[in-house]
Amino acid sequence: MQLNEFFMEHPKAALGFSGGVDSAYLLYAAVRSGADIRPYFIKTAFQPAFELEDAERLAGELGVKLTVIEADILFNASVAANPIDRCYHCKAALFGLLKENAVMQGYTLLLDGTNASDDASDRPGMRALDELEVRSPLRECGLTKADIRRLSREAGLFTWNKPAYACLATRVPAGEVLTRELLARVEQAENELFKLGFTDFRVRVFHDAARIQLSAEQQFRAVELRQTILDALRPYFKLILLDLDGRN
């Protein structure tokens, strides 16, 4: 099945929209197919500010109204406790909220941007999507991450080469309680690295230290900028570590 065929069969739908590569292309394809598509961005402590900015920019460029829903996800004890299956509890809560709002506005079909490269066996959040009957057109149409980047580039979408950016909660080890303050420190530390020109990295929490994961190529530059990085990140973490295994 092609995406345009999917939207011919399902011409009205709500989309869980993150502003990332996958959901951006899915929104574009829906608009191009003439579907009545309503993107929803759920704003929580897990998303850095630039994600909402990207979502608003793309929706604006496509001429689509973006609905932003604010949710205090840390109020959910099953999420804040940060268990191994935190993603399941988080997706169930957020997409449940999204579905409730979408149905009230006349959208009974809910979509997300999962693609054919995503490993369902390694993503507990997918179980929540299945339970809520969320459809994943990119996955159903066999589109991989590489396909989506190529098609996005051809379509002129600025998101085509945007690095994958998992939510901030993934920076904290399972079992360590999630707090707004801790997540904000991680976001601010990563913002400082962005300002220094680093890309596709993570700042992970390790016993209250910042463990920086970079590609092998960027590690040499990090060593050269050692003092600059220490000065930039020290307001947020007293101990800053460079993970020599880097980003996989």
Do 78 and 188 lie in one domain? The reply is no
Which CATH number covers residue 76? Answer: 3.40.50.620
Q: Are residues 96 and 211 located together in one domain of the fold?
A: no
Same domain, 103 and 205: no
Whether 173 is in a domain gets the answer no
Residue 40: burial class (beta carbons within 10 Å; 0-12, 13-18, 19+): buried
**Residue at which a domain ends, from 126, 161, 196:** 161
Q: Which residues contact 80 (CB under 8 A, 6 or more apart)?
A: 73, 74, 177, 178, 179
Q: Are residues 39 and 142 both part of a single domain?
A: yes
How far apart CA 191 and CA 203 sit, in angstroms, is 10
> Do 149 and 203 belong to one domain?
no
Least Cα distance to 25 among 165, 136, 168 occurs for 136
Range of the domain at 188: 179-243
Rounded to an integer, what distance in angstroms lies between the CA atom of residue 68 and that of residue 94? 12
- Nearest CA-CA partner of 223 in 234, 212, 236: 212
Number of structural domains in the chain: 2
Q: Which residues, in sequence order, are CB contacts of 106 under 8 Å at separation 6+?
A: 12
Final residue belonging to a domain, choices 161, 192, 226:
161
Q: How far apart are CA 219 and CA 224, in angstroms?
A: 9
User: Domain check: are 123 and 13 in the same one?
Assistant: yes
Per-residue pLDDT of the chain (248 residues; tens, 9 = 90+): 899 999 999 999 999 999 999 999 999 999 999 999 999 999 999 999 999 999 999 999 999 999 999 999 999 999 999 999 999 999 999 999 999 999 999 999 999 999 988 766 557 778 888 888 999 999 999 999 999 999 999 999 999 999 888 899 999 999 999 999 999 999 999 999 999 999 989 999 999 999 999 998 999 999 999 999 999 999 999 999 999 988 76
Is 166 a domain residue?
A: no
Please report, for the domain that includes residue 213, its CATH number: 3.30.70
Please say whether the beta carbons of 124 and 89 come within 8 A: no
pTM of the model: 0.89
Q: What's the rounded Cα separation, in Å, for the pair 187 and 236?
A: 10
* Domain co-membership, 153 together with 216: no
The reply to whether 133 and 191 lie within a common domain is no
Q: Are residues 153 and 84 in the same domain?
A: yes
